[in-house]
Amino acid sequence: MRKTTTKLADGRELIYYDRDESQLREAPDRRPLEPTVSLAEIRRDPVSGDWITVAAHRQGRTYHPPADQCPLCPSHGEHLSEIPAADYDVVVFENRFPSLAVDSASLVGSIEDDPMHLLRPGVGRCEVVCFTADHGASFADLDESKVGLVLEAWTDRTAELGAVPGVEQVFCFENRGAEIGVTLAHPHGQIYAFPFVTPRTAKMIASADEHRARTGRNLFEDLVAAELADPVRVVLTSEHWTAFVPFAARWPYEVHLYPNRRVADLTELTEAERAEFPRLYLELLRRFDRLFGEGAAPTPYIAAWHQAPGRGGAELALHLELFSIRRTVGKLKFLAGVESGMDAFVNDVSPEAAAHRLREVAT
C-alpha cells in the first residue's frame, strides 16, 4: 500500500491510499476555497448524562447534487471536486462541514462551573472515506483487494486519530441509501473522532464490566460462543470471523460480524484476519441486496464498527454491525413513539426468520 498525504486549497488534509506502491498523487487543488470555520460545540444533557453535538454551521452542506457535480468524484476538466486527482483507489479527507473539528471554537464559551449548562468546544475530527472513484458503484461492487485497502485505511485512521489529544473514541461507518439520510450518492463512508465516549459504547462497557464481575469471563467471548453453540441465528462462519443475527436484534435485518479472537480495535487484527475479512463482508453486503428479491431497489443500510475507546473499554470487543431499516418490500422501519421517545425498540421481523432469510439468499 502507498499512502500519500496532501492538503486541499483551504488547508484540510487529504490522504490517498493506493494498492500500487509506485503511484504518485501530485495534482493540486485548483479551487479558490476560503478556510473552513467550525463552530461546533458539545453540550451535556444533565438528565441522561449524554453529550450532544450542536453544529449549526452544517445547515449549508452539499445536498443531493446532480451526478455531474458530485464533490466525491475525481476532478476532471472544469469539474473541480474534493479530490484533485483524475482517479483514485481510496481517499480520505477532512469533512468540509464537520460536526467536530480540531479547531472548533464554541460560540458561547465553556461553562464549566454550571452543571445544568455544561458545554465545551466540539473538538474532534470528521473525515470522509471514498471507497471508489466509480460514482455508480456501491461497496458490494468492490473486489476483495479494494476492500482490503479500505480496511487498511480504516485501520490507519483509527491509529492516527486515536492518538490525537482529546479524542476518546474513533468510529468508522457507512450510511448507504437516501432512506438512511445520505445526501451524496457517491459510495463513501465517514470516520468520527469523538471527544467523549458515545452513549451506546458506554452501555456496552457497563454491561461487559457487570458480566466480568458476575462470571469472571468476557461478555463478548461468551456471546459469540453462545451463538455458535445454538447456530439458528448464525449467518456465516469462517476460520477467523463469525456473523450472526443477535438474539435481541433491534432492526428488521441486523447482522453482527465478530473476529473469533477478541481484539479491542482494528489495529489489533492479524494479517490472517485481515485477509479473510473482505470475502465475508462482501458476501454479507451482497446478501443484503438480495433480501427483497430481484428488481428491488438497493437495500439501504448502516455499517458501523464498534471499537474500544482509548480508556475504560478493556472488556469491549471489536465488531461490525450491519443493519437495514427496510422491513419488507416498499416498507421501512421508522423510529416512532416508543423507539424515539423511550429508546425501546420493537422489531417487526424475528431474528431467527431474518437469519434464515440471510442464509437463504446465499449464492
Which amino acids are annotated catalytic?
188
From 271, 239, 244, select the one nearest 257 (Cα to Cα). 244
What one-character-per-residue DSSP string does 89-133 give? SEEEEE-SS-SS-TT---SS---TT-TTS-EEE--SEEEEEE--S
- Which residues does 345 contact at the CB level (< 8 Å), separation at least 6? 250, 251, 338, 339
Q: By three-state DSSP, how is residue 233 classified?
A: helix
**What span, in angstroms and rounded, lies between the C-alpha atoms of 36 and 31?**
13
**What span, in angstroms and rounded, lies between the C-alpha atoms of 256 and 358?**
13
- Which residues does 72 contact at the CB level (< 8 Å), separation at least 6? 81, 82, 83, 128, 130, 135, 184, 186, 188
- Which residues does 249 contact at the CB level (< 8 Å), separation at least 6? 323, 347, 351, 354
Grid cell of 118 as nine digits? 455544561
